[in-house]
Structure 1
Amino acid sequence: MTENILVGTASWTDKTLLESGRFYPPEANTPEARLRFYASQFPMAEIDSSYYGIPAPQVAQGWAERTPDGFVFNVKAFRLFTGHQTPPHVLHRDIQQALGPNPPKHLYYRDVPQEIRDELWRRFKEALAPLRLNGKLGAVHFQFAPWLIRNRDGLDHLEHCVEQMQDHLLSVEFRNKTWLDPERVAKTIDLESRLGVVHTVVDGPQGFANSVPPVWEVTHPALSVVRLHGRNAAAWNKKVEASSSRFDYWYSQAEIDQLVQPVEKLASQAAAVHVVFNTNFEDQGQVNARLMMRALQRPMSAA
């Protein structure tokens, strides 16, 4: 049952993780050595840096070369595509110049000229190509902005992203309750199935406009994705300098054990399941990912 369940973390180079000194051995003191060590401990990882800026293809080639056969990366979609505000300085220099001398402090997708959007999509897919060619690209993860609601515009943008990323496996995570509230959840799951995207099961704080309940459904036969953000309600919408502070949470063994059975049920319905810990304050993600891996290896009756 557990052979098709891959457990990992969102990022492997978070500043607080490196500063803690608890995960990497002293000799793993370069980006290459850290990724090689990480890949010796876990079978998959989520690349979050691609949300903040489109990586160069040679960077992705390095990720492919530093990980063993069978290792899988999920890659987070660039923030402009998911509706988030994007400072122009994260764009390629020639694109910054094409925007003109006085661009706004923050760009939104609708503000960017069509030809520039098309070029950014092209460069993003070019950056993914080395992972794809090496058989190490899992899903391209679209975590949509909290203000993308389930209305005509939201539906159109979702379909637009799917169209732009044809021939790639997409996983979709919503951050607005309108997508998965009791009145709309069935329609959203049907929509994801129709579009051929992977529904993301979200474990996180509840009761906020930008939080969604965990909906344990499979919408694509190849993959199911579970992302665990912790349950730190006090910090969920707190303005912080580092995102790791919002996901400051240690899952207890009891909470891990409660997740085993629903994860295994997903694994009986999809060819693979990726369980991603986004609790990235210090070594929380790595510790909890190891607990999850051990829990999955126990007989179900003991979990």
Structure 2
Amino acid sequence: MIEIGLAGWGDHNDLYRSGVAARNKLKAYSSHFPVVEVDSSFYAIQAASTFEKWSKETPNEFGFIVKAYQGMTGHDRKGMAYEAEAEMFRKFIHSIEPIRQSGKLKSVLFQYPPWFDCTREHVHTLKKARHLMGNMPLSLEFRHQSWFTPDMRARTLTFMEQQHWAHSICDEPQAGQGSVPIVPHPTNPDVTLVRFHGRNVSGWKSHGQTNWRDVRYLYHYNKQELSEWRERLLTLQQHSKHIYVIFNNNSGGHAAQNAKDLIQLLGITYEGLGPRQLDLFE
């Protein structure tokens, strides 16, 4: 099954009727898409009560892809906010327990930074993260080309299979070592994640500039590009039971429309979405 959604639900104003309150946006979002990526968990470990609230606000079949906390993936290089690594992982696992209990946790996404290259030390880091997360469903996304060079690609994919990491396949700008190519190879029979980051090379390289968030994911996928992905997704579906597709190209507000375009191209109709809120004269 291919389930398509967006990264976050707060910024996609084209989905919501005018004046909808922030507290009601997730409920409104769930009337459009069956899955969402939680990005706030990357910046801080959320309270378990927050995930419990989100679970109650969404339909029974709704799913969450939860991004791992930045301290768990080495993004936060200023120093660990927790006294011990194991404690940090325990608190994260506790925080997402409500959606795991409800069956709505589809995967925890470990997206590693551009400087996380293919070394023995970093392979050990991945093994340790897998161990600390127990039997949680995990997805793995790289941002350094060294994992997928011709001599390392097969070894990387085999390692992911052996360690039970689902592959987070990326469509992103090809901008040197700090990006990865499209590698449409599933590593888990249950789950494969596909994330669309856009193809804005200059914006991708703007990290650190004051306006980088406004341009990094500024991209609109055209119909030909999405049609190419239609064929890839149908092939991936033969090897993974669940394909979760997340559009993250929202610097210019293109994610929601591209997601709906792809749903239409695939001819998908989702059952069990939340009730659609209608405008006064609709």
Aligned counterparts of 1:189 and 1:116: Cα–Cα separation in 2: 30
**Corresponding pairs, count:** 266
Deviations 1:2-51 (A, max 9, x none): xx10000111113xx44xxx2211252232x2111100000100001100
The 1:127–1:246 alpha-carbon spacing in structure 2 relative to 1, beyond 3 Å, is same
1:58: which partner in 2? 49
1:152: which partner in 2? 120
Establish whether residue 204 from structure 1 lines up as the match of residue 205 from structure 2.
Answer: no
Establish whether residue 265 from structure 1 lines up as the match of residue 262 from structure 2.
Answer: no
Q: Aligned match of 2:7 in 10, 13, 25?
A: 10
Aligned counterparts of 1:245 and 1:234: Cα–Cα separation in 2: 8
**Residues 221 and 269 in structure 1, CA contact (< 8 A), matched pair in contact too:** yes
Aligned counterparts of 1:234 and 1:27: Cα–Cα separation in 2: 34
1:246: which partner in 2? 216
The secondary structure found in structure 1 opposite 2:169 is strand
TM-score (norm 1): 0.84
Aligned counterparts of 2:260 and 2:100: Cα–Cα separation in 1: 27
Aligned amino acid, residue 83 of structure 1: G
**Residues 6 and 248 in structure 2, CA contact (< 8 A), matched pair in contact too:** yes
Matches for 1:1-303 after TM superposition, within 5 Å:
4-14=1-11, 17-18=12-13, 22-31=14-23, 33-85=24-76, 106-107=78-79, 115-238=83-206, 239-241=208-210, 243-297=213-267
Aligned counterparts of 1:63 and 1:281: Cα–Cα separation in 2: 24
**Residues 240 and 246 in structure 1, CA contact (< 8 A), matched pair in contact too:** no
Aligned counterparts of 1:174 and 1:57: Cα–Cα separation in 2: 28
Offset of residue 245 of structure 1: 2.4
Aligned counterparts of 1:291 and 1:130: Cα–Cα separation in 2: 32
TM-score (norm 2): 0.90
Aligned amino acid, residue 156 of structure 1: H
Aligned counterparts of 2:101 and 2:19: Cα–Cα separation in 1: 30
Runs (4+) of structure 1 exceeding 6 A deviation are none
Offset of residue 188 of structure 1: 0.2
The secondary structure found in structure 1 opposite 2:96 is helix
Deviations 1:74-113 (A, max 9, x none): 0000001111125xxxxxxxxxxxxxxxxxxx11x5xx77
Aligned counterparts of 1:154 and 1:182: Cα–Cα separation in 2: 19
The secondary structure found in structure 2 opposite 1:25 is coil
User: Unaligned stretches of 5+ in structure 2?
Assistant: 269-282
Offset of residue 243 of structure 1: 2.8
**Residues 82 and 145 in structure 1, CA contact (< 8 A), matched pair in contact too:** yes
Aligned counterparts of 2:214 and 2:248: Cα–Cα separation in 1: 9
Aligned amino acid, residue 262 of structure 1: R
Aligned amino acid, residue 215 of structure 1: V
The secondary structure found in structure 2 opposite 1:231 is coil
Aligned counterparts of 1:244 and 1:75: Cα–Cα separation in 2: 23
Aligned counterparts of 2:256 and 2:170: Cα–Cα separation in 1: 18
The secondary structure found in structure 2 opposite 1:230 is coil
Aligned counterparts of 1:13 and 1:189: Cα–Cα separation in 2: 34
**Residues 244 and 279 in structure 1, CA contact (< 8 A), matched pair in contact too:** no
Q: Which has the higher helix share?
A: 1
Aligned counterparts of 1:230 and 1:169: Cα–Cα separation in 2: 26
> RMSD of the TM alignment (CA)?
1.5
Aligned counterparts of 2:25 and 2:201: Cα–Cα separation in 1: 31
Aligned amino acid, residue 41 of structure 1: H
